[in-house]
Chains A and B, each alone.
Chain A
Amino acid sequence: MDASIDIVTDDLKDPATTEYLITGGDFDDVIAAQQARSDETIVINMGPQHPSTHGVLRLEVELDGESVLSIRPGIGFLHSGIEKSMEYRTWNQGVTYATRMDYVAPIFNEAVYSLAVEKLLGIEAPERANILRVLTMELGRIASHLVAIGTGGMEIGALTVMTIGFREREMILDFFEALCGTRMNHAYIRPGGVSIDLPENGLARLRTLIEWLHKHLPEYAGFCNENPIFKARMTNVATMNLPQAMAMAASGPVLRATGYPWDLRKKQPYCGYENYDFDVITWDTCDAYGRFRVRQSELWESLKIVEQCYKKLEETDGQPYMVQDPKIGMPGNLTLGPDGQGNALSHVKEVMGQSMEGLIHHFKLVSEGYSVPTGQTYVAIESAKGELGCHLVSDGGTHPYRAHMRDPGFHHLQSVPFLCEGGMMSDIVVAVASLDPVLGGVDR
């Protein structure tokens, strides 16, 4: 022990080689030694493999002590050329690529892509398909917001919020599994409708899910809303007011937390959102806490819509869930079998044993796909995270000529320097979490 103290005191004159040990020394000496390099800043890399960066986000941070001097987000680590790959697949197969972009809210990617293809084709999905789309999108919104709230809470130490968030999300994913066979990356919404109708016990399962959510969603308010630590970490952090949000073209909960009720479901309705009764949630604090409250209240609005979907699904039982155009919709009514496969046995029997033309048609539709008239379109929907846009160009062929997704996470991450610079290092994770980027969507 004595020896270590000797080392400290001996080398104090030369700050560059000074070792500070746990046994310490005189505080004045320590501070004096630091004075020589007090104007130095530290550059650190947060990520790409940092648990609180929501995937593989790299933040290059220049720090003066604990204050952020500059911050530069670096993205692209998850870039997998999805847009390019889509150009080599049929229009229908494009859904399976689109769904893998923002993997926390995959249903929105499918929806916007399908809506864009439908716009180019000039078709509209039947009523029941729209109800199923709205149902899955709102459940997807709840699941996505739960992850945003949960992981956002975890990053500031509120671990329970994460565990209960994932518990509720699990119930929603279970419902998706019963509905279409997959928990994530559903490829459920297809151009022309949805891939499969509700299963036989679908409504009963939905009822159970609604009851579960009713029982458990209040817990988030109880845990967080007035929690002093939670509020202290989030209030007045990462502030962005309305003019700033306009300059950064923020959308979704980030924009609504500035008090501006902009929601594409209300302003530019799609999939029949005009037939549902719900409110656009706003908050007026312009900070991370406001975004949290907007998301939390939107859970309830989404649940309201889900309940209305339940009624509408009861009323439209037996109606088509895919356009009745055999040149676009896949033949055969798929039903999820006990083996987890979706074969339509009566259809297989027909094309294999009775109808040569049916077989040719099936083969052509599956292998070559349908052609989409020439043109381009930009379609946008309100995803859980903001405006999710899809720019599609067709040259009249069976593949997209160009598919581009405008991901809200990609767009919002541009504001990170603006939100964090001049603030504290510990607020970076709060700021990033309040934007709720998902790097699968950001990098595509």
Chain B
Amino acid sequence: MTEELPSTEVETQPAPVVQAVRKGMWGEGPGDVSGFGGISRPIIRHQRASRPYGSWFDDVANRLQALVADLPDEVSTDLDQLTFFIPKDRLLEVVRAMRDDSQLRFETCTSVSGVHFPDEEDAELHVVYALLSMTHNRRVLLEVTTSDEDPVIDSVTSVYPHTNWHERETWDMFGIIFDSHPALTRILMPDDWDGHPQRKDYPLGGIPVEFKGAQVPPPDERRS
């Protein structure tokens, strides 16, 4: 293991995944004379990791590559967590391998969580699956993206039946359709609700707070 390390060390780092570029010190708005308005910084979502990933990450990644043919090798090891970025049409193959292979054996998917990045073209909607292997005591994250125009991702309920409600919640909150889910209905919001509340284009709502002689705007309109 240690002998292979030195030679590949210094070469090209894969480019980080940039989410957006943040300008100025206090966000978009009128320019100021302080000079801070000229600041431009990329928001780096995650760093693409290059092999070796370290500890057991390589075992899992290699095994997954061996089991699922032609899986793009996009991995992040930020914060000591192994995250696989999976094309959405390969998701079912991947989770099935993750669960069934004895070397991987991720028995449970503990959480399904949506994230909305409205600025990211053709990948506005992300779904993050947190898998847990009790056999090997490991956790990995799988991240899948889809676009607003085609917000459909395969349901993993056929592999992990316990993700039923989690997928319903993600549909309810983000409008992501999980294909072949047994009953994809709203779960937290009323059945006849319009819109998907946790998308970024859905307002928080709220009313101004009245004080004697002053008014504080609702939380989503406050400058902070």
Contacts and interface: CB of A to CB of B under 8 A. Distances in A.
Going nearest first, the 10 A-B pairs with the smallest beta carbon separation are A249-B108, A406-B111, A249-B162, A404-B113, A76-B188, A79-B188, A378-B130, A391-B113, A402-B115, A88-B219
B98 to A, nearest CB: 14
Interface string B142-166: 0000000000000000001110111
B162 A411 contact: yes
24 contacts: A76-B187, A76-B188, A81-B197, A83-B198, A85-B204, A88-B220, A89-B219, A90-B224, A119-B79, A120-B79, A247-B161, A249-B109, A249-B160, A249-B162, A368-B224, A380-B110, A380-B130, A387-B132, A389-B110, A399-B224, A401-B115, A402-B113, A413-B165, A414-B165
A395 B79 contact: no
Contacts of B45: 374-375
Contacts of A414: 162, 164-165
Interface string A203-222: 00000000000000000000
B189 interface: yes
A362 to B, nearest CB: 16
Contacts of B198: 83-84, 402
Given A251-B110, A374-B46, A402-B116, 19 more contacts: A76-B187, A76-B188, A79-B188, A88-B220, A90-B224, A246-B107, A246-B108, A374-B45, A376-B115, A378-B111, A380-B110, A380-B130, A389-B111, A391-B130, A393-B115, A402-B115, A404-B113, A414-B162, A443-B188
Which of A83, A251, A378 neighbours the largest number of chain B CB atoms within 10 Å of its CB? A378
Contacts of A377: 79, 81
A262 interface: yes
Contacts of B43: 374, 395-396
Given A83-B198, A375-B46, A377-B79, A262 B134 contact: yes
A378 B81 contact: yes
A402 B44 CA distance: 16
Contacts of A122: 79
A85 B219 contact: yes
Contact of B190 (A76, A387, A402): A76
Nearest to B203: A84
A37 interface: no
A89 B204 CA distance: 12
A87 B187 CA distance: 21
B197 A84 contact: yes
Contacts, number: 114
A444 B139 CA distance: 25
Contact of A406 (B22, B46, B110, B186): B110
B74 to A, nearest CB: 15
Interface residues of A, number: 49
Contacts of A370: none
B128 A391 contact: yes
A367 B79 contact: no
B128 A378 contact: yes
Nearest to B45: A374
Interface in B102-142: 107-111, 113, 115-116, 128, 130, 132, 134, 137, 139, 141
Contacts of B204: 81, 84-85, 87-88
A248 interface: yes
Contacts of A396: 22, 43
A45 interface: no
Contacts of B137: 267-268
A399 B198 CA distance: 15
Contacts of B220: 88
Interface string A116-156: 00011010000000000000000000000000000000000
B19 interface: yes
A401 B111 CA distance: 18
Contact of A395 (B19, B141, B161, B169): B19
Interface string A53-95: 0000000000000000000000110010101110111100000
